[in-house]
Structure 1
Amino acid sequence: MPSRSLKRRPEPSTSQGRPARRQNIGSSSTPRPSLNARSSRPLFCTPSPRRHLEESSQILTENDSVMGRDECESSQDDVILALELRGNGGFGSALYTSADEHLLIQQDTSGGLELVDLLLIQAQPTVIIIPNRASDELVAYLEKLTPGIDGSSREGTMKGAYVLQAIGSSEFDPHTAKARLAKLKLDTLGHPDLLMTTASEYDPMDTEDDRPRLGQVQASLRLGSLINLQSHLSVGCAGAVIGELQRRTASDYLAQDPAAASAYSIMAVNLFNLADLMLVNQDTLDALQIIRSERHPNNQMNNPSRGDSGAKESLSVYGLFQRHACTPQGKLKLKQAFLCPSTNMELIREKHRTVAVLMRPENTETYNLLTKKLKMIRNMKTVMGNVQKGVDKPSAQTSAKRNVWQSLQYFSKFSVEIFGLVRTLVGGEVIGTKASGAIVKPAEMMKIGKMVSDTVDFEASEVANKTVVCHGVDQVLDQLNHRFNGMESFLVEVTRRVVIDVPLESRQYIQQCVYYHQIGFLTVVYVDPDTGEPLYEGPGSDPEGYWERKFVDENNMHFKNHHMRELDEVYGDIVSQINGREIEILHRLRLEVMACKDAILSTSNFWGELDSFVALAGAAHQYNLSAPEMTDENIIDIKDGRHLLQELVVPSFIANDCQLVGGSGNEDMQAPDSQDGEKTPNILILTGPNHSGKSVFLKQVALIVYLAHVGSFVPAESARLGIVDKILTRITTRESVTGDESAFATDIRQAAFAMNHATCRSLVLADEFGKGTNAIDGAALAAGLFWYFATRDEATRPKVLAATHFHEIFEQHVLDETPNIGYAHMDVRIDSEASERENQITFLYSLVPGRSTSSFGAWCAWMNGVDENIVKRAEELSAYMARGENISALTRLSRDEERRLEVAERAAREFVRANIATPGEEEGSEGYEDDQAAEQPRDLLNRILAMYDEVDGSGDLSRSESARSDFS
């Protein structure tokens, strides 16, 4: 009989079978089939013309909820933030990121809601914890971004929605927090040779796991070397975070679950300080379009507990760079860089040098190879988490090519190759030195890759859709596989022996012998289709030969007889033995890999950092960016600057220069002058027509400064920049129906924030401030804002860029006595002789010194579709106003005009009341009314025109006579 080849190998199982007593059952070159405990099909059976084997699906031994996550989806990591803002201005916070299992503790500082906003932008938390004693102002501010019914935040921002939790204030107690921190098993604390424990700390009831590795005194001393224990607010927040992690572990895991030890673990505790970061609030990010996410149109795809999960990046500055990142961790590092621009001069210069190395022409080929290799690197944080849990595949739909072992082998292989490429970069000694240090260890990566390759058969795993151990790794496993492969031919022989023991007339009813995983060996007998009873069920008189019914499958009865019981005793459950042996081997491999976890994760993090620089270099090459020169002077000197987003949506972009200087920070120091010898202004006020590019210029200067502090090259021919600690904007007005602020109130709040927080190192942008109220008040507010910044002390003056249409400020000479203010406008060309209105004004988008005297608002209104008559009337009124005439007088009628309107009204009423005879209608004809004689049209016209003759009074009857003759 023809036999069918079986293509799959057995799946892992947690049950352990009996040891085999024979070395060889038979030999067969047929590959092993897959196992399926849920199917009634046997694993092995003798061939039959009435039946063919079917390939079965694999066994899922892992929890589907655990395997359902994509290992590349790093955006699903939790970020827990605890913060406390005291009434006296004290501010502290602690942050836990599950991506790297780090607890970050802030240095206590003083501030207000602006620090909270900065922290939310930079941390992007998914959970925020505050004490019950938090002020109503803080609670109201944080509740704005909590998810609404539809899953979106109540206030539309780029900050993702989070879960806000208010817990007992005792959880923020610094003494309790220190005790919790001291009990952490941190790798950063090392492994001391001597443990010192005081008598008061010893508890004989504590188990080994309950006791700290260090005594309380030692732990506190060593903990003080990592963090500032005097930052009581932040330390208390750290204690609240640890308490939250403990509650999560208790609710998600059983007490004796081994996975609970690694869940929500803290591997390191570090300090972070907001002092080295540029302060940017949500208004700045929105105005400059730094990061702009678009939520998924399907609300079910937006998980409110996961922030911006399901969202994609819209047209933004970060979006232009993101597409050049190759790895998940690289995109995460890049986003962190854009959210947290640095003010550390050395760090910024190091980033610029790294990008410059990657952009060198001689490194072009190496750069291209780097991008190809980095695309093969995956986020090892998630991979190592699956290795630790014993999950080979992150989801049931994932192929064997994407399992954790394949990812680990690729990572080790390409890490070694990337390390070699980094070493070949011309001028990349800084990158090579950092990579060859304690972060990247090529020898250890090669060791890990060899361990995985020598243990896992990837080709067989792809065929079997499961992890298969290589031949030769374990002798016992090889023998079990050999027996399993020979099972099919062996069952043919077993069937022949069973048939011999059956009476001659019943042998035809014996179909075959089969083997089922966890059931064992069975004999299959045909069933009578009419009665449903087996055609043979063994010798009933022989107790030892009793045939026990097991189940019916497709008109076949499966029996367990003494032959099958002997086989069960001799061979046991071979599949369980194979699965158990493979599990032991893979477990040993997991232990060996987990011993190298720190090296793997540090290497993965470094490749993410390198990938972020690769993205910066790729964007710099694509968009023609140049390296900025960072200086200790407080200046902004830009040559041929461009707007990175605007130039992508226009046919051609006109570059412009900008020179600004901030306060010296020292009364004895003087601000530097420009190259032409003139004093560089602190404030540059722009005027000019609408649509001329003033707002674009303001934003492009801020973007160039922002990108330089991110570590990127900038869109300019050259840029000489000093450190900027804050970028404060009054450009866009974010309105919401849920907010209680008007548009004008929002503008005032933004301006007040800039005035209260601007320093000599700040850059302030004000675009048309004061436009939300009447012209007089708006002009006064704008003039007051400019005056405030211009008259500040030399040491505290910020750099200010402003645009306004309030020309009366300059005409009234309000700011003439402030020499540190510069004026410029966007140039236009006017052709008053042009017949077509659209040809009268040409925008040049070029910044030139001096002020503009007109905003050309009427022309811009016509260009945007306003009716021509309205535009002409607006121009007339504008001309009257320019001559100082009373506009209200133009809207009142003269006495003569009033009289003529009265006559016109009387004439119209007479015409309506008149009974005009129909032409051809004569007296006595049908329809003629005797009692109401019809007036002839000529008589009616003479009567009406006589009214106008009375109004003229001058005796000039030319008009009425002309009208009579025309009518005749």
Structure 2
Amino acid sequence: MGIDMDKDGRVGCSYYIAIDGALFVEEDIFMGGIEAVETILLRVQPTTILVPARALGVLVEFLERGAQRLESDEASDNKQGLHILRHLGSAEFDYDAGKVILAKVDLGPNLPDFLEVESTAEHSANYVGSPDHSNLMRLAKTINLESYLSIGCAGAVVNDLNRRISIESLDTDAERPLAFQIRSMKMSTPADTMLMSADALISLQIIRSELHPNPQIQCSNRSQPKLNECLSVSGLLQGFACTAQGKAKLRRMLFRPSTDVKLIHERQRAIATFLRVENHEALLGIRKHLRKIKNTKTLLLHVRKGVDRMRGQLSLRTGDWKVLLRFAMASIQLRESVSSLLGSSDIDSISKIRSDIDPRIFISIGETILKTINFKLSMETGRTEILTGASDNLDELRREFAHVCQILPEIKGELLRDIPEWAAEHIHHCTVIPQLGFLVAVTLNPETGEGVYSGQELTGDAWHISFISEDLVYYKTSAMADLDLQHGDLSARIADEEIRVAMELAAVVLEHENAIVQASELFGEFDSLLSLAFAAEKYGWVAPEMTTSNIIDILDGRHPLQELLVSSFIPNNCRIAGGVGGTGAEDKYLAISGDDEATDPSMLILTGPNNSGKSVYMKQVALIVYLAHIGSYVPATRATIGITDQILTRIATRETVVDDESAFLVDLKQAAFSMNFATRRSLLLIDEFGKGTTMEAGAALFAAYLIHFLDLDMEKPKVLVGTHFHEIFEHGFIGPRDGVAFAHMEVRLNPEAQDAEDQLTFLFKLLEGRDERSLGVLCAAINDIPSDVIKRASYIVSLQESNEDLVEAYENSREFDQGRLEEAELVARRFLAIKIPRTGRGREDISRIRAMLEEVLSIHDEDTDMYSEDRVPT
């Protein structure tokens, strides 16, 4: 991946996927900043990142945090990073150079150009009709040439690929370089995509990956550490996918939630079809077939290497042929099973499987493999074996080899007739060995290092040692040389013929490479939709109604992850609406101008006790909106979701020791991002903003933050807020007004209960109105904070609630603390006044010193009455 960012925060990116041979060029993201970079890294997960030498320090510092440490310092804790970071010359990221490089990428035959103009060698791209100009015009059809940073990044990526190809081409055995070829070029655009920042993806637990706890598994046969998916929406849904292709498709859906209502409805129709009762048994069978589908891109890469890079042996394992055979057979069965699903005639993904997958191709592939590979014998020998009948020439060579093996005892008999009788017992056998031919095995004489018999008393026959193995010496005789001339190296000829047959089989498979890849992609898309259906069935999700109205209306919504961790989950409703836009304002999601007045609040402010479920409620609303935009069903009884262009969060403060930013500064950056980029189609989640500074400053910033969105009037976004800053409402900074609603989570108090756990009961039910109670001290007691701390905190809270001066109250009413201080001072003075004699370390000496210390610590009863525990205020 190549990535760059300018001083204004514009981000450009391009990346290459080796297994697909695809080069992706992202559109420049204006004012994206590090947040956009982090989101791209989460989505793409690159193994190598290229940056220009002139890259901004903030970008380099951010990328270095997750980079692999190549130094050999064993004490480095971050040696095993997620990617390799490489710095290239800034000239490689030049826009003009990148544009020319992309124009020269060969993606196949070009269309004829009907305008021919004589070109010059210099600046030929500027002349209309020149080859370079034609290439640029053709490139402009698929790539936005105004994405200056991204095109520069793409040029750096292509240059790096060319360097890798040049290195690989140095291999003289290779007929042509295979890896790092660009077979397709695509432009990734944010159009029709709901934007999700990295903060939103992590805060809402849409993704949540961590390094695998086993260090050996982390780095086993991988170019980057293995990540373990924790409890997250991604892990939840991908657990239902049966194929690697399905997991990849599902991941792309998760990272690119759509705002295209047509696409969302298409996915919902597919899920509805899969959930029909009459299709249940058929889908169980389909899942069994899907589990037989492997990643064909990797297999085809092995096949292609087997054709182009034969080095005297079959490079394809038997297991690869078996997987291809299973894929061919499963493809035929899957096409028939999918086509038989009831109500699937109008499902686009199923229609493509029915029309684009030709069963005759896969029948031909399967029959060819079955007629070529002997799977049973291959399993026994551990190598790829060719079936009898696959090649007449191979069968003839095998018969000849079998005949030679049969006559070897006769050859030994003829040899024994010619040699002395005493030597017969030292001749073990005659054999044929690949590359060495026919040989005679003789007992080794350890003293001479030669055979006990080596052709003595034979005239005209010289015995030459070929090699020595353990207690045998192998000789080449004139008779063995004659057999070599007569039959040749049969083993090598058989191996060559087997390779030729395997290459022919590989060529047959590669003739249908596009059909295999297309089928694999279609099955992956089907698998991803099927996983959404099985998740909806298992967890009781329903189809949301997608609307162009700017509202969120949820009945009995649930958190898709939290409900898995509790015995019973209390559902809650939500109804908010964003601005409708000014009179005559055009909305790309509406067919008409949005000039209706909004009657529902745009901002819902949640107050009430800690740990009552406010944050879970806010997150569940956002996750329901998010799931609706990927085309999934949602955890609710009913949901009407308006098209949302982005979800912005100010929830989690992600601190790390490698940052030089305070927690409050991180919060401010998240808040600034939401204020700069939110539209009336956006959903904002604001939880406990302003808590990182003084109460007065935090409350002031929080109030101004909310008022900013409320003052947007017709352009105000949908906002969910959680706070404990009650003073801004009590003093009227934000009071009852249009667009604001208050709610809280219901709790029950029982002050008479002895145990703290029984005094507070959370009901997790959303009620209208504001609750001024925070009950933080009681929550602390429930969570095992020491009783003396709870007692002191309760006393301070009581003083605050009565509006007393804490300093004065502390001085006048905390006599117990004052007495303790005086007592401590008295003990300290007594200790300094005593004279400890220089004594030995005997028992009597130690007892004398202990008695002196006890006298120092002794306080008369009349001196301590005023400090009694009974005097502690409650």
TM-score, normalised to structure 1's length? Answer: 0.78
Cα–Cα, structure 1 residues 116 and 505, in superposed 2: closer, same or farther, change >3 Å?
closer
Cα–Cα, structure 1 residues 518 and 414, in superposed 2: closer, same or farther, change >3 Å?
same
Q: Flag structure 1 segments of 5+ consecutive residues without an equivalent.
A: 1-80, 204-213, 674-678, 914-939, 952-968
Shift of 1:488: 2.9
Residue 846 of structure 1 corresponds to which residue in structure 2?
A: 765
Query: SS state of the match for residue 196, structure 2?
Result: coil
Query: SS state of the match for residue 290, structure 1?
Result: coil
Residue 486 of structure 2 corresponds to which residue in structure 1?
A: 570
Residue 352 of structure 2 corresponds to which residue in structure 1?
A: 434
2:781 is equivalent to residue 862 of structure 1: yes
Q: Is the 8 A contact 1:661 1:672 kept in 2?
A: no
Cα–Cα, structure 1 residues 117 and 663, in superposed 2: closer, same or farther, change >3 Å?
farther
Correspondence for 1:354 among 260, 267, 270 = 270
- For 1:224 and 1:767, the matched residues in 2 are separated by 44
Amino acid of the structure 2 residue aligned with 1:791: D
Residue 281 of structure 1 corresponds to which residue in structure 2?
A: 197
Query: SS state of the match for residue 627, structure 2?
Result: helix
2:87 is equivalent to residue 166 of structure 1: yes
Correspondence for 1:135 among 43, 53, 56 = 56
Amino acid of the structure 2 residue aligned with 1:227: I
Residue 66 of structure 2 corresponds to which residue in structure 1?
A: 145
The structure with the largest alpha-carbon Rg is 1
Residues 275-300 of structure 1: CA deviation (Å, up to 9, x unaligned) = 33222222212211111112033556
Residue 725 of structure 2 corresponds to which residue in structure 1?
A: 806
- Map 1:286-685 onto structure 2 (within 5 A): 286-299=202-215, 301-302=217-218, 309-390=225-306, 403-429=319-345, 430=347, 431-438=349-356, 440-528=357-445, 534-539=451-456, 542-543=459-460, 545-667=461-583, 669=594, 679-685=599-605
Correspondence for 2:744 among 825, 838, 845 = 825
Q: Is the 8 A contact 2:464 2:477 kept in 1?
A: yes
Residue 845 of structure 2 corresponds to which residue in structure 1?
A: none
Cα–Cα, structure 1 residues 259 and 767, in superposed 2: closer, same or farther, change >3 Å?
farther
Shift of 1:541: 6.4
Cα–Cα, structure 1 residues 887 and 746, in superposed 2: closer, same or farther, change >3 Å?
same
- For 1:303 and 1:378, the matched residues in 2 are separated by 22
- For 2:822 and 2:147, the matched residues in 1 are separated by 88
Shift of 1:845: 0.5
Query: SS state of the match for residue 191, structure 2?
Result: helix
Residue 852 of structure 2 corresponds to which residue in structure 1?
A: none
Q: Flag structure 2 segments of 5+ consecutive residues without an equivalent.
A: 123-129, 585-593, 833-857, 867-874
- For 1:703 and 1:263, the matched residues in 2 are separated by 40
Q: Is the 8 A contact 1:161 1:304 kept in 2?
A: no
Residues 801-835 of structure 1: CA deviation (Å, up to 9, x unaligned) = 11111111221121125321100000112234445
Residue 872 of structure 2 corresponds to which residue in structure 1?
A: none
Shift of 1:494: 1.1
Query: SS state of the match for residue 195, structure 2?
Result: coil
Cα–Cα, structure 1 residues 199 and 565, in superposed 2: closer, same or farther, change >3 Å?
farther
Q: Is the 8 A contact 1:628 1:719 kept in 2?
A: yes
Correspondence for 1:124 among 39, 45, 60 = 45
- For 1:573 and 1:910, the matched residues in 2 are separated by 106
Amino acid of the structure 1 residue aligned with 2:41: L
Higher mean C-alpha deviation, range 403-412 or range 216-225: 216-225
- For 2:86 and 2:60, the matched residues in 1 are separated by 10
Query: SS state of the match for residue 811, structure 2?
Result: coil
Higher mean C-alpha deviation, range 214-223 or range 729-738: 214-223
Q: Is the 8 A contact 1:663 1:671 kept in 2?
A: no
Residue 65 of structure 1 corresponds to which residue in structure 2?
A: none
Q: Is the 8 A contact 1:400 1:462 kept in 2?
A: no
- For 1:360 and 1:151, the matched residues in 2 are separated by 59
RMSD over aligned Cα atoms: 3.8
Query: SS state of the match for residue 812, structure 2?
Result: coil
Amino acid of the structure 2 residue aligned with 1:116: V
Query: SS state of the match for residue 335, structure 1?
Result: helix
Residues 255-288 of structure 1: CA deviation (Å, up to 9, x unaligned) = 6554643220111112220233222222212211
Q: Is the 8 A contact 1:910 1:944 kept in 2?
A: no
- For 2:546 and 2:773, the matched residues in 1 are separated by 38
Residues 759-811 of structure 1: CA deviation (Å, up to 9, x unaligned) = 111111111111222222222222222211111131x2111111111111221
Query: SS state of the match for residue 378, structure 1?
Result: coil
Query: SS state of the match for residue 893, structure 1?
Result: helix
- For 1:791 and 1:248, the matched residues in 2 are separated by 56
Amino acid of the structure 1 residue aligned with 2:53: N
Q: Is the 8 A contact 1:527 1:557 kept in 2?
A: yes
Residue 694 of structure 1 corresponds to which residue in structure 2?
A: 614
Residue 919 of structure 1 corresponds to which residue in structure 2?
A: none
- Map 1:230-241 onto structure 2 (within 5 A): 230-241=146-157
- For 1:905 and 1:161, the matched residues in 2 are separated by 56
Shift of 1:87: 4.1
Between 1 and 2, higher relative CO (CA 8 Å, sep ≥ 6) is seen in: 1
- Map 1:47-86 onto structure 2 (within 5 A): 81-86=1-6
Cα–Cα, structure 1 residues 760 and 651, in superposed 2: closer, same or farther, change >3 Å?
same
Shift of 1:741: 1.1
Amino acid of the structure 2 residue aligned with 1:168: G
Higher mean C-alpha deviation, range 245-254 or range 113-122: 113-122
- For 2:720 and 2:864, the matched residues in 1 are separated by 63
Residue 664 of structure 2 corresponds to which residue in structure 1?
A: 744
Q: Is the 8 A contact 1:393 1:400 kept in 2?
A: no
Q: Is the 8 A contact 2:554 2:638 kept in 1?
A: yes
Shift of 1:850: 0.3
- For 1:832 and 1:115, the matched residues in 2 are separated by 50
Shift of 1:115: 3.1
Residues 568-625 of structure 1: CA deviation (Å, up to 9, x unaligned) = 1101111111111111111122222212111111211221221111221222222211
Cα–Cα, structure 1 residues 259 and 378, in superposed 2: closer, same or farther, change >3 Å?
farther
Residues 626-676 of structure 1: CA deviation (Å, up to 9, x unaligned) = 111111011111111111111111111100001111111334645666xxx
Higher mean C-alpha deviation, range 101-110 or range 846-855: 101-110
TM-score, normalised to structure 2's length? Answer: 0.86
- For 1:771 and 1:758, the matched residues in 2 are separated by 22
- For 2:777 and 2:389, the matched residues in 1 are separated by 86
Shift of 1:387: 0.3
- Map 1:899-914 onto structure 2 (within 5 A): none
Query: SS state of the match for residue 261, structure 1?
Result: coil
- For 1:150 and 1:863, the matched residues in 2 are separated by 49
Cα–Cα, structure 1 residues 693 and 546, in superposed 2: closer, same or farther, change >3 Å?
same
- For 1:462 and 1:339, the matched residues in 2 are separated by 42
Residue 935 of structure 1 corresponds to which residue in structure 2?
A: none
Residues 358-410 of structure 1: CA deviation (Å, up to 9, x unaligned) = 2221111121111111110110111000001118999xxx9998622111111
Shift of 1:202: 10
Q: Is the 8 A contact 1:511 1:525 kept in 2?
A: yes
Cα–Cα, structure 1 residues 550 and 291, in superposed 2: closer, same or farther, change >3 Å?
same
